[in-house]
A and B are shown apart, each in its own frame.
Chain A
Amino acid sequence: MNKKKIINDDSNDINFKKLKDFLEENIFKIEKVLENFIKDIILIIDFDIFFKVQISVKKNSTKNLSNSNDLSYLLNETKDLCSETINGKKIVHMLIDNYQVDKKNYSELPKDLEYDYLSLDVSFICLPNDVTKSLEETFKSYQISITQIISTDYIKDFFSNEDSDYVTLAKKLLEGCNQNEVVLVKKTQKIQGFFEKFFHLYS
């Protein structure tokens, strides 16, 4: 069997052979239409290949920190914890499910709230390494990098009442319509971008 093994008729596995054929048929056509190269791509994956990790963290307020500093600290800590737990597998979505402030639950963090105790329930939607690697290799041969991977399960959960197609809904998520999704950016990019969207809560 091929090393990339996810080539079979199982509907839970991406058919990379067919994917390559599809890209072969379309990438050059697109580049001709654009009169330019495609450098990056956003993948929307509708397969049951993601797994979820849920972590709760808490912090006592140091009083002299703002809510956003406390939250940044907690989110960083949670992401590091998750990365250690999943041992390098790819985190594709980081979602804050619940904020607990002095034992009260909130779906969004209340603004300008003084508190002694903050706790977060955070979900991570992750992708196994073999899938991530195979996808990256597939697109690398076209000099295309994957900028984002979006799970359709997450799209369905968030837009449970909307009837639009996945691409339209994925675009809405990328535009920041979920205030509780933390945008993850590569460490090589500027650090202040890490929780960029999150800070919009305070603007």
Chain B
Amino acid sequence: MNDTEIFKTFLLINPKYFKISVQNRSNSKIIYEQKKNYK
């Protein structure tokens, strides 16, 4: 992948966990997702 515009990165910051999700901009396919509880 050469074009950074083809994906969107979301980070959910919650009192109990973080969740990062990288998705393809055009078809919303999840490229990477990770959730971690810290409490």
Contact = CB atoms under 8 A, between A and B. Distances in A.
Contacts of A37: 4
Nearest to A32: B32
A71 interface: no
A-side interface size class: 20 to 34
B28 to A, nearest CB: 7
Nearest to B33: A167
B10 A47 contact: no
Interface of A: 11-12, 14-15, 18-19, 22, 25-26, 29-30, 33-47, 166-167, 170-171
Interface of B: 1-4, 7-15, 18-23, 28, 31-32, 34, 36, 38
13 contacts: A12-B15, A34-B1, A35-B2, A38-B22, A43-B10, A44-B12, A47-B14, A47-B15, A166-B12, A167-B10, A167-B12, A171-B8, A171-B10
